[in-house]
Structure 1
């Protein structure tokens, strides 16, 4: 059997490379997050651009406590979150923890924020949320972040078990997942 000569294979290789490059060049490079897909109340003001899309996977701790301003009543109190932030390829890029609610990139830059709005996101899920970022601490990925949206929620609500005087002080951990969209 005769093997093809290099002079025949070279043009074929060039054509194949060109086809592959043009296919890659036409791939949609837009963010996976669609800003119009969220309720109006948690939309980011015009003039801001999506800078970073992450998925937070972790847990939220609740504690059974006396209900504030309601003598004799008990409630599950939100103690704080602890989650890893992953980029769209699944690589860890930071953490989310609190209180206070803090988003920290692996480069050491971090932000805290003030809640502006929430909206229902479905039964059994934490609500959508929009926060206004405080100035970043340190320089890096969080520098210049203006807003953070919590979207694409799964779980995270207070435990279903009753919070009573009998289990006062007991802590429960609930798993959750949410996308955190950072705007600049």
Structure 2
């Protein structure tokens, strides 16, 4: 046998897998709140699963004398592809997504929408032009969806523990979009 039927089967399987992922992403967009949907004229260029932690610090509330709250200090996560291979990192502030090739992108939050209780909200970010050549070149928007964990600690934040930091584990899907 010359291997052509096997090659056709592999090609068909890859095409179906790609179509399936595209349909899943399109379907997922239809189930998201309007506030965090990516505008028309963009296409998915990369998806990653962020697995990491968010640091919070007990601080005085802004404009509320004598009151304290858990303040978001910043994230630190590994970005993995769907097979679990590390493809980059996410850190901040400012919120920065960096690919293994060194290219990176930051952005401005446009909107958030509630997720499940105890999970970070969904988020839509307008990307700034990328630094460096590589995977992050051409990113127009970044969505954070499918969040698990990451919200501020439920433990007490009071004058007695001001300055205390707590680390909360989280996971989220990041979808990177580019203009068509």
Output the TM-score relative to the length of structure 2.
0.90
1:23 shift after superposition: 5.3
Inter-partner Cα distance in structure 2 for 1:131 and 1:72: 33
Go from structure 1 to structure 2 and tell me whether the alpha carbon gap of 1:17 and 1:82 turns closer, same or farther (over 3 Å shift).
Answer: same
Name 2:13's counterpart in structure 1.
24
Kindly tell me: are residues 22 and 180 of structure 1, through their superposed partners in 2, closer, same or farther at Cα, counting changes over 3 Å? closer
Q: Alignment partner for residue 41 of structure 1, among 35, 56, 72?
A: 35
CA 1:15–1:110: 2 relative to 1, 3 Å: closer
1: CA distance, partners of 2:17 / 2:42: 21
Matched residues in 1 for 2:113 and 2:148: separation?
Answer: 14
Question: 2: CA distance between counterparts of 1:64 and 1:83?
Answer: 21
Task: Report the count of equivalent residues.
Answer: 173
Name the residue aligned to 2:94. Answer: 100
Distance 1:17 1:59, change over 3 A: same
Q: Paired residue for 1:150, among 116, 120, 144?
A: 144
Aligned-residue CA RMSD (Å): 1.7
User: Which of 157, 161, 164 is the matching residue for 1:167?
Assistant: 161
Gaps of 5+ in 1: 1-9
Q: What are the Cα deviations for residues 90-114 of structure 1, in whole angstroms up to 9, with x where unaligned?
A: 1100000001100000000001100
After superposition, give the CA deviation of every residue in 1:123-147 in whole Å (9 maximum; x if it has no partner).
0000000000001000101111000
Q: CA deviation at 1:168?
A: 0.4
The 3 A distance-change label for structure 1 pair 106 and 22 is closer
Task: Give the secondary structure class of the aligned counterpart of 1:182.
Answer: strand
Cα distance in structure 1, aligned partners of 2:162 and 2:13: 57
List, as ranges, runs of 4+ consecutive aligned residues in structure 1 with deviation greater than 6 Å: none
From 110, 118, 124, the counterpart of 1:116: 110
Unaligned runs of 5+ in 2: none
What is the aligned partner in structure 1 of residue 76 from structure 2? 82
